[in-house]
Amino acid sequence: MIKILFVCHGNICRSPMAEFVMQHLIAQRGLTEQFEIASAATSSEEIGNGIHRGTREKLTQVGIPWSSDKKARQMKQADYMAYDYLIGMDKNNIRNMKRICGEDVDGKIHLLLEYTNVGDDIADPWYTGNFDQTYEDVLQGCTALLQYILNNNQNYFLTLKHVYYYILL
């Protein structure tokens, strides 16, 4: 199983948006059982709060399912060992993720847009109010990240395909 943790400052706007977008992209490919997707915050400011209204509205508008059970949680040092990819939304998130986890000795911590040709920060809609642009950036980043994972784990997915084939026989 491939485990991805999306991280932003408060875990109410960008990282839950990325969590649900990635879950949707994975489900479209029939790969839900091969991934675990979650999100967290670098700060403690929003712990226990639900997803921001703007994120909920944007996900609903584009037909991406989300869960009202999702509550903000803070990233822990143990998350470094628990996840294969720790994906921050901006450079400040990356700095704070390394503060929480320690040095990134396994090369797990990356910006989401690193996987695109853009390689920049995803603006925080808490401040910009622009959930449309945030969604476009998150979708582009998640699509590129998923393609990267599929390309770099071909043996894993081929093995799964063969296992499923033999189970069906």
- Where in the sequence numbering do the catalytic residues fall? 8, 14, 124
- The residues pairing with 7 across neighbouring beta strands, listed in sequence order, are 40, 88
- The residues pairing with 37 across neighbouring beta strands, listed in sequence order, are 4
> How does DSSP classify residue 12?
S
Distance CA 2, CA 65 (A): 21
Is the alpha carbon torsion for 81, 92, 74, 36 positive or negative? Answer: negative
CA 133, chain centre distance (Å): 17
